[in-house]
Amino acid sequence: MEFKAKEIAEILGGTVDGNPEAKVTSFARIESGKPGSISFFANPKYEQYVYTSKADIIIVNKAFEPKEPVAATMVRVDDAYAAVAALLDYVTAQKRSYRRYRGCRSRVRWSSKIGSRVYIGDFAYVGNNARIGSCTKVYEHVYVGDDVKIGSHCIIYPGVRIYPGCIIGDNVIIHANAVIGSDGFGFAPLEDGTWKKIEHTGNVIIEDDVEIGANVCVDKSQMGSTVIRKGAKIDNLCQIAHNVEVGPNTVMAAQTGIAGSAKIGEHCIIAGQVGIAGHITIADNTTIGAQSGIMNTIKEEGKTWMGSPAFHLRDYLRSYAIFKRAGK
């Protein structure tokens, strides 16, 4: 990539404060900016680096008033954090080519239907009656089972396994080695102390604009569907059990586990290593702190929960103060 400050300002709808001809060819964190790079400043605690950064261009908020001279050219925008995300999207889109390609060592069943400008890498397998939409990339060593439907403009990274019958919407990204549609963990105890496997006959539905991290497992349902709603973002190494529903635009950090038949509301924020019990419901706009354990249904919307078992953040902080004193 190579952009001038005036071009970046045009892309982001911002203004240039400094040299409009300043050029950059790479991105860098503001504390490690170097000549030829572009950084951004959004968090006040990093302001010191605005004055010492070697980056040629820094994206800042329009309201930012420097306390010292700034050597870099500043591109002023309404929201620096959102602007750099938009710029990264723009750069990625410029690099991404949508051309038809089928690796000679891939295998695509004759009954499948492949859209225009689809990339299928070597050693990928596409099963019977599968559907892959236009401009989707299926990278090397991906397994797409029978009757799977994948929408357009998706990216399926190497090593992903999508079991038969699963449905993937448009603009979905699934990172390496994720498994979509494996059997749920369902076993019935028998009188002799052994366990009988309960067959899972459902599937997984992933709606539009979802991103699934690396090594995530989303289990198919016993009956019906496990559903990841539109716009949800799931980090690496998460476990989504059978019949779970994750609401629209909910985000989930790494190593979170959700037990079977739990229902997560929309616009929830779930931090890392959270455990959520089965057959419960999480209200919309709920925030759950890291390593929390959710044992019961949360009915109040917009609350923050912490601890294991979890309770309201304010009560948790009061209790934690007591815990610390008790340990002395």
CATH class held by domain 98-177: mainly beta
pLDDT at 289: 96
Mean pLDDT by 10 residues, the chain (328 residues): 92 95 94 94 94 96 94 96 92 76 94 96 98 97 98 97 98 98 95 95 97 98 96 98 98 98 98 97 98 96 94 85 74
Q: Which residue type is seen at 262?
A: A
Tally of CB atoms within 10 A around 198:
14
Structural contact between residues 195 and 172, judged by C-beta atoms closer than 8 angstroms: no
pLDDT at 328: 62
**How far apart, in whole angstroms, are the C-alpha atoms of residue 176 and residue 87?**
24
pLDDT at 15: 96
pLDDT at 316: 86
Structural contact between residues 242 and 221, judged by C-beta atoms closer than 8 angstroms: yes
How much is the pTM? 0.86
Domain ranges, ordered by start, for the chain: 3-95, 98-177
**How far apart, in whole angstroms, are the C-alpha atoms of residue 203 and residue 224?**
7
**How far apart, in whole angstroms, are the C-alpha atoms of residue 160 and residue 145?**
11
pLDDT at 255: 98
Structural contact between residues 41 and 60, judged by C-beta atoms closer than 8 angstroms: yes
**How far apart, in whole angstroms, are the C-alpha atoms of residue 178 and residue 141?**
12
pLDDT at 327: 60
Residues annotated as catalytic are: 242
| CATH annotation of 3-95 | 3.40.1390.10
* Residue at token pair 């309770």: 311
Both tokens of 87, joined, read: 């710029």
| CA distances to 107, 174, 216 from 82, in Å | 41, 23, 27
